[in-house]
Amino acid sequence: MMQNILIVVEEKDGSLRKVCEEMLSFCSQYSNKLGFKVTALTYGNCLNQELFNQIASFGVGNILVIEDHQFARYNPELLINILKNIINEYNPNLILFGNTAVGKDLAPRLAQALKVQMFSDVTKIEFANDSIKFTRPIYGGKAIETDELNLENKLVLATVRPNNLPKYENNPAKPGIKKLNDKVIDNLTYTVKEVIEKLKLTKSINEAEIIVSGGRGLKNAENFAILEDLANTLGAAVGASRAAVDAGWKSHSVQVGQTGKTVSPKLYIACGISGAIQHLAGMSTAKCIIAINKDPDAPILKVADFGIVGDLFDIVPLLTKAFKAVTKG
Amino acid sequence: MKVLVLVKETFDTEVKIVLENEIISEKDVKYIINPYDEFAIEEAIKIKEKLGGEVILYSVGREEASATLKTGLAMGADQANIIKSNVKNSMTVSQLLSEAINKHDNEFDLILAGWVSIDDNNAQVPGRLSQLLNIPFVNVVTKVDVTGEIVLCEREGEGCQEIVEVRIPAIIAVQRGINEPRYPTMKNIMQAKRKNVNLLELTAPIDKVKVSYQFPEQKNKGEIIDGSNPEQAAKVLVDRLKESKIL
Ligand SMILES: Cc1cc2nc3c(=O)[nH]c(=O)nc-3n(C[C@H](O)[C@H](O)[C@H](O)COP(=O)(O)OP(=O)(O)OC[C@H]3O[C@@H](n4cnc5c(N)ncnc54)[C@H](O)[C@@H]3O)c2cc1C
């Protein structure tokens, strides 16, 4: 039986990460139905009440807080030690992380430190009487893996892909905060020397709800401006194919595909991208795909929900105009 | 420097997945080295070229993987060890690797690996292995610099680049962008034929996860909008998005 879920919550600029909202909302919904307890864990160097209120608004009132000046920089070694202690004390059956840069790094280390199974980048979680089932896309979305594990009072870890767990209307809970005073170790073998912030100007594609992506069809870096215009109108992030990244038009951090990022936005607009299998691997789980391509035989049009066969240089600016008219009206 | 590289054989990216009774068929499949592991091999060889030493590949998988691993040997690795096993579970794979490394190469300086494998997308083995071997681990690394005992890494953090320092022995999992893997020459390929691929036999612990495979749900066929009148096409698309409540 599932009795106790621990969600490791991440914040960004004082707000909850979107995938964390999704995990909280989902678990909170099922906790009432199935009678298990959900606890959120937050850590940081200066956490605020606003964040705790946000967590509680999804129906999760039990909030564990660890604050330490050392958390100003992410250090996995520091966190593993603290998490291990907390887990021994709270005995969860399931620990959830967002499949974020932090979750991807931390969860496998923690899983091995606790000698338990872990499932990466899951898109679906199902609770049964005495077992738990995870669904995760593999082979770049060409197949789905289903993992079922008997709980037997054991613990299991998972990282959750953003934009996949359904969000519910939860009844807000009253935040009940417990500050933990675990000793933070200081003889670390992993030292963060420097953190170089990337320019905040570019919106990250990881959790974006809408992504406008460009490929070789854009012809040069300057032409990406027309995609930026469309993206700004839609509040979207800009992505790119490998051809565009290899040509130096966009940075590798926005490459979508097998050797780039895997994204699951609500809307993915592919402009001048042929839809090679390695590109599809990174975006085939998008809820809605729009492709703009002048070649009627381009493979991207086979997976698109809506495809426009035509010249992107004509169509994209007009699309921006049409969307502007909608958002205004 | 003794550098070990974790290498996984994966399906070629063009392979069409075939399911038989909810199991992925391996019949007639063309294999490649996981592209991220290729970056790790290249980086290991660069370290060897700079500091001397040897590069040993470690793989858990089919006996026939030796043919795939030859590419790594042709790139410049000195030998390869295959732990013969059909286990897929990351925890089990990590345990096998840790056991084999402790037995055969426990005086290593560095372990390099790709941060993720393009087939199962698990991204767990390097992190798990670091715990099993009790050594520091830097993940998603785009630059490595080894000076004496010190390994300076640049890694992709959340919206930032982090400079992380660890000491050897350590595990480094690499990200695309760290280098461009070399193409072996004909001469390299001939030389690789004489390099050793050793088969290691170890008993894998049993895991209790029930795994099955399915195909993703088929989407309804999309609608193609004629773009010869761009203005009209843009309008039709926006209308469709409104109708289907995507906007
Ligand atoms: C191991 C491996 C890993 C890879 N990983 C990735 C990855 O992560 N991500 C990735 O994207 N690729 C990846 N690739 C590369 C992939 O195979 C393709 O080469 C790449 O995706 C092609 O990019 P593209 O669609 O932008 O370019 P092209 O394939 O050249 O397509 C350009 C498209 O633009 C269209 N076009 C041109 N001009 C216009 C116009 N004016 N208006 C409208 N349409 C126009 C053309 O009709 C064409 O369809 C990988 C390949 C390998 C072997």
Going by C-beta distance under 8 Å and a sequence separation of 6 or more, which residues neighbour residue A285? A123, A137, A141, A164, A262, A264, B216
Residue B208 within a domain: no
> Is residue A94 predicted with pLDDT exceeding 90?
yes
Q: Same domain, yes or no, for B160 and B123? A: yes
Would the CB atoms of B119 and A139 count as touching at under 8 Å?
A: yes
Q: Contact at 8 Å (CB) between B97 and B129?
A: yes
Compute the nearest-CA separation of B226 from chain A (Å): 6
Q: Same domain, yes or no, for B223 and B172? A: no
Residue A329 confidence (pLDDT): 54
> Is residue A200 predicted with pLDDT exceeding 70?
no
pLDDT in tens, B193-214: 999 999 999 998 888 899 999 9
Residue B238 near chain A (CB below 8 Å): yes
Q: Which domain holds residue B28?
A: 2-200
Q: In chain A, which residues have their Cβ closer than 8 Å to the Cβ of B19?
A: 143
Q: Same domain, yes or no, for B165 and B94? A: yes
Q: Same domain, yes or no, for B240 and B180? A: no
Residue A152 confidence (pLDDT): 79
Tell me the C-alpha distance between A237 and A198, whole Å.
Answer: 15
User: Measuring CA to CA, which residue among B155, B153, B158 is closest to residue B175?
Assistant: B155
Residue B211 within a domain: no
Q: Same domain, yes or no, for B104 and B74? A: yes
- Atom 49 of ligand 1, residue of closest alpha carbon: A274
User: In the 8-state DSSP scheme, what is residue A254?
Assistant: G
Residue A199 confidence (pLDDT): 64
Q: Same domain, yes or no, for B235 and B130? A: no
* H-type alpha helices, chain A: 18-34, 49-56, 76-90, 101-113, 224-234, 242-246, 277-283, 300-303, 312-328
> Is residue A198 predicted with pLDDT exceeding 90?
no
Going by C-beta distance under 8 Å and a sequence separation of 6 or more, which residues neighbour residue A307? A290, A291, A292, A293, A300, A301, B222, B223, B224, B225
Q: In chain B, which residues have their Cβ closer than 8 Å to the Cβ of A235?
A: none
What spacing in Å lies between the alpha carbon of B235 and ligand 1's midpoint? 27
Would the CB atoms of A112 and B94 count as touching at under 8 Å?
A: yes
pLDDT in tens, A201-224: 567 898 899 999 999 999 999 999
What spacing in Å lies between the alpha carbon of A273 and ligand 1's midpoint? 5
Partner residue facing A322 (CB), from B121, B137, B234: B234
pLDDT in tens, A290-305: 999 999 999 999 999 9
> Is residue B33 predicted with pLDDT exceeding 80?
yes
Partner residue facing B214 (CB), from A101, A146, A296: A146
DSSP E strand boundaries for chain B: 2-6, 9-11, 19-20, 23-24, 31-33, 54-61, 79-84, 110-114, 137-147, 150-156, 160-167, 170-174, 197-200, 210-214, 223-226
Percent residues over pLDDT 70 in chain A? 98
Q: Same domain, yes or no, for B110 and B19? A: yes
Element (H, E) at A147: strand A143-150
**CA B33, A108, A73, A21 torsion-angle sign:** positive
Residue A197 confidence (pLDDT): 84
Quickly state the pLDDT bin for A326 (edges 50, 70, 90): confident
Q: Same domain, yes or no, for B26 and B98? A: yes
Compute the nearest-CA separation of A90 from chain B (Å): 22
User: Measuring CA to CA, which residue among A313, A266, A274 is closest to residue A291?
Assistant: A274
Q: Residue B186: which CATH number?
A: 3.40.50.620
The verdict on the CB of residue A307 being under 6 Å from ligand 1 is no
Would the CB atoms of A196 and B164 count as touching at under 8 Å?
A: no
Phi, psi of B223 (to 5 degrees): -105, 130
Cα-based angle B90, A137, A275 (whole degrees, multiple of 5): 125
> Is residue A47 predicted with pLDDT exceeding 90?
no
Q: Same domain, yes or no, for B101 and B221? A: no
- Atom 52 of ligand 1, residue of closest alpha carbon: A278
What's the mean pLDDT in B130-140?
Answer: 98
**CA A221, A226, A232, A238 torsion-angle sign:** negative
Residue B141 within a domain: yes
**Mutate which: A212, A308, A319, A321, vs B, most B CBs within 10 A:** A308
How much is the CA Rg of chain A, to the nearest whole Å? Answer: 21
Residue B210 within a domain: no
Residue B206 within a domain: no
Q: What letter represents residue B56's amino acid? A: I
Residue B207 within a domain: no
The verdict on the CB of residue A299 being under 6 Å from ligand 1 is no
Partner residue facing A191 (CB), from B17, B140, B165: B165
Residue B209 within a domain: no
Residue B68 within a domain: yes
Residue B90 confidence (pLDDT): 97
pLDDT in tens, A222-233: 999 999 999 999
Q: Same domain, yes or no, for B146 and B239? A: no
The verdict on the CB of residue A280 being under 6 Å from ligand 1 is no
Q: Same domain, yes or no, for B6 and B89? A: yes
Would the CB atoms of A195 and B160 count as touching at under 8 Å?
A: yes
Provide the chain B residues 134-163 that lie in CB contact (below 8 A) with chain A: 135-140, 152, 156-163
Quickly state the pLDDT bin for A137 (edges 50, 70, 90): very high
pTM for the model = 0.91
Angle at which helix A76-90 crosses helix A101-113, to 10 degrees, equals 60
The count of C-alpha atoms lying within 13 angstroms of the C-alpha of A81, restricted to the half-sphere facing its C-beta, is 14
Q: Same domain, yes or no, for B15 and B124? A: yes
Structural domain total, chain B = 2
